[in-house]
Structures are given as C-alpha cells and as structure tokens.
Amino acid sequence: MALREIIDNPRSSRLMKNNGRQNRKPEDHEIGKYTMSVAVKLTGTHPQHIRRLGAAGLLNPDRTDGGQRLFSDSDIDIIKEVTQLETEGINLIGAKAILEIRKGKRT
C-alpha cells in the first residue's frame, strides 16, 4: 500500500472509526474513562505497547489523582490505528507523522 494512500485515506488501514457505535459529541469522545486493563482488552495490544505510544507522544491520557491512566475513545482509536499502521510496516515516528497530517497539524 502506498504511503500517500495511507495518509489520504484513514480507512485504508482497515479501521472503522466508530466500530458501528453511535456518533458521540466530540467532548464525550475525549473524556478519559478506560483504565489500562480495559484499553488492552478493547485494542488487543500489550500494556507496554500502549505505554510506548504515550512515550512517543502519540497519546496523552488523562490521569487519576493516584496517577492511573484513563484512556478516551479517541485514545482507543489512536491505539488501534497506530497498531494497524505498524502491521503495515510503518514505525512510530512515521505513524505519528501520518496522524498529524490526517489531523491537519502537519503538511
């Protein structure tokens, strides 16, 4: 798959953004509500992989007063999307660039 196709078409990485869920208000989509264990179950990835995404600047989950990560629906979508991009041979730096281009933060 060509890089331009991946950048231009977020669905090219075979992800359904809402996985059939009802559309939510943007603010609801950004609220941290899933703990690490739930995020692991929802994404099928290892906790260390999710921590690496945070260290790479791809995620910035909310934190409880005790420091526990709380992931939003948006965070879960990013984890799934980056994981898929990695299976297509794109490293974390490339995945970050692709996500920034898709969001219009980078040209």
Segment 52-101, tens digit of pLDDT? 999 999 999 999 999 999 999 999 999 999 999 999 999 999 999 999 99
Name the pTM for this structure: 0.73
| Contact in structure between 15 and 43 (CB atoms under 8 Å) | no
Residue 7's contacts (CB-CB under 8 Å, 6 or more residues apart) are: 98, 101, 102
59-74 burial code (b ≥16 CB/10 A, e <16): bebeeeeeeebbbbbb
- Please give the pLDDT value at position 57: 92
Report phi then psi at 61, rounded to 5.
-70, 155
Angle between helices 36-43 and 47-55 (to 10 degrees): 100
Query: How many CA atoms are closer than 13 Å to the CA of 40, on its beta-carbon side?
Result: 9
Q: With H, G, I as helix, E, B as strand and everything else as coil, classify residue 93.
A: helix
Q: With H, G, I as helix, E, B as strand and everything else as coil, classify residue 100.
A: helix
